[in-house]
Copies of this chain bind each other. A is one copy, B any other.
């Protein structure tokens, strides 16, 4: 240990900053560690804001306290962590030559210049805001700071707002939508692009859309905000690009975030091509005495080695910890990169993803195969719930490079499982035989993840030819000449059916009724059942009997996001 205590300054007091500071303290009891935080609060669990707003819990302190119930205020940081936390204090500039940071104490207006040996920038990100007329009206908010959470929670508690618009159909947009819905507010999410939840592929995103609509929240896609409308400075509606006016007393903007790189930029630190502070694997900026972590940086994708921004709470903490260690033992820890893993609860659906979507993988230049699979999470006799997922593999290496999973079933477990498989660079073949924890309360004998690998394996090896629900819809809409076969039982057909010109031949009867199939063996035949397991079995048989264009509609009726006859 050096005789002179190391002076560490950390700018930003929410996730990455405090984590770096706390870890540094554990590494070195004698360092001088100071946290500079603009806001009044510290260590806020931002990810919990939607649940506080939605009334899942009522004690605001739970957002800023330890598991033992102690609020993480400057006194806590002083006593428990021996970290000096300067709140309501903004870092104004960094002098890299002098190794100082100039700070402004916001309440008093006083500035002070703090010296550092090592500096951490964890300034986070700021919410983006559409630049349209009326955006200064009262009643327009984001949900980013604890102040925002307080304000939206007050909306719930006051119970006056009846209609709200959420601008932006991403994770936070839908969390806000659900929270407002729980507050009894009629909510519409508007999304500029054609699709909500951009990390999903469109077919799965549509299933989530349907689910949200089934909860009586509305979604409008392909439509941005043209203007906020109001009277007497108060919001009373949102005007969309197509002219529609949606009356509402509240609008919440959730169109993404922009990394806070102003300080770093002004200090001459390198900014990466994705707009975040550039850091190496040690989370060190272009100045070796300055580290940066969290929403303000960009990092590396472990899938394709590209730099990406990953504004997630877990990543901020992981990176913060790496810094905390390196502050005391330089280059002793590294952050290798991310696997694009995230999750969100949207009403009764879990929506999770890891790795690349089909679209992202293609854009990144991968030659891929995908499999969309519907199935239960646990056995029917244990009251299993549906999962619909899509697994993406790189043809060349056989590696799994993406997995999306949605539905009322336990998607969280499946996404975590595949995230680890991706981290381990496992191939579809590896997943084919994975030894997972099986018992009826927890999974099928062959877990959804394994079945997904099996189906992908079947497609990669040419044993199954798939067709997506959207391609089938196109065929149907364009009146294409194909034979559509539903392989379920007559009873199932009575209860629910697509009504897209299909013929019903139950799998069990198929081999005896081959004469009802197209005489032209090269005619396209599209098969499905509820989840397309029986569709797949039927397809294997038909191929053996000489039909050459036999395709399984992946995911079956459970993955069909369009209107059904029944």
A interface with B by C-beta (< 8 Å): 1, 15, 25-30, 45, 47-48, 51-52, 56-57, 59, 62-63, 67-68, 70, 76, 79-82, 171, 302, 310, 312-318, 321-322, 333, 335-336, 338-345, 350, 352-354, 376, 379-382, 410, 412-413, 415-421, 423-426, 430, 432-443, 445-447, 449-450, 454, 463, 488-489, 492, 507-509, 511, 529-531, 533-534, 536-537, 540-541, 543-545
Contact = CB atoms under 8 A, between A and B. Distances in A.
Nearest to A531: B67
B318 A446 contact: yes
Contacts of A447: 314, 416
A340 B434 CA distance: 11
A485 to B, nearest CB: 15
A67 B381 contact: no
* A45, A437, A445, A449, most chain B CB atoms within 10 A: A437
- Closest 3 pairs (CB-CB, A-B): A424-B424, A29-B544, A343-B437
Given A424-B426, A454-B321, A508-B76, A442 B343 contact: yes
A171 B440 CA distance: 13
Contacts of A426: 420, 423-424
B421 A423 contact: yes
B29 A341 contact: no
Contacts of A314: 435-436, 438, 443, 445-447, 450
A412 B76 CA distance: 35
Contacts of A316: 445
A79 B435 contact: no
Given A67-B376, A412-B413, A381 B62 contact: yes
Contact of A439 (B339, B345, B545): B345
A80 B507 contact: yes
A342 B439 contact: yes
Nearest to A61: B381
A56 B82 CA distance: 53
Contacts of A440: 45, 47-48, 51
A38 to B, nearest CB: 21
A14 to B, nearest CB: 11
A435 to B, nearest CB: 4
B511 A341 contact: no
A417 B412 CA distance: 10
A6 to B, nearest CB: 13
A97 to B, nearest CB: 32
A62 to B, nearest CB: 4
Nearest to A418: B420
Contacts of A45: 379, 381, 440, 445
A93 B146 CA distance: 74
Nearest to A60: B381
A449 B540 CA distance: 41
A412 B442 contact: yes
A76 to B, nearest CB: 7
Contact of A541 (B29, B47, B336, B416): B29
Given A67-B533, A423-B430, 17 more contacts: A30-B544, A45-B440, A48-B381, A48-B382, A56-B381, A68-B530, A68-B534, A70-B489, A313-B438, A317-B445, A318-B432, A352-B437, A412-B442, A417-B417, A419-B437, A420-B420, A420-B424
A354 B530 CA distance: 34
Contacts of A382: 48, 51, 56-57
Nearest to A342: B437
B437 A415 contact: yes
B442 A434 contact: no
Given A56-B382, A376-B67, A445-B15, A47 B417 contact: no
Nearest to A529: B68
A111 B449 CA distance: 43
28 contacts: A27-B540, A28-B544, A29-B545, A56-B381, A57-B382, A67-B380, A67-B531, A68-B488, A310-B435, A314-B435, A316-B445, A336-B430, A340-B435, A342-B437, A342-B438, A343-B438, A343-B442, A345-B441, A354-B435, A410-B413, A412-B442, A416-B443, A416-B447, A419-B435, A419-B437, A420-B426, A421-B423, A421-B424
Contacts of A339: 435
Contacts of A413: 410, 412-413, 416-417
Contacts of A47: 438-440, 445
Contacts of A507: 79-80
B508 A435 contact: no
* A68, A421, A537, A544, most chain B CB atoms within 10 A: A68
Given A26-B540, A540-B29, A379 B439 contact: no
A439 B30 contact: no
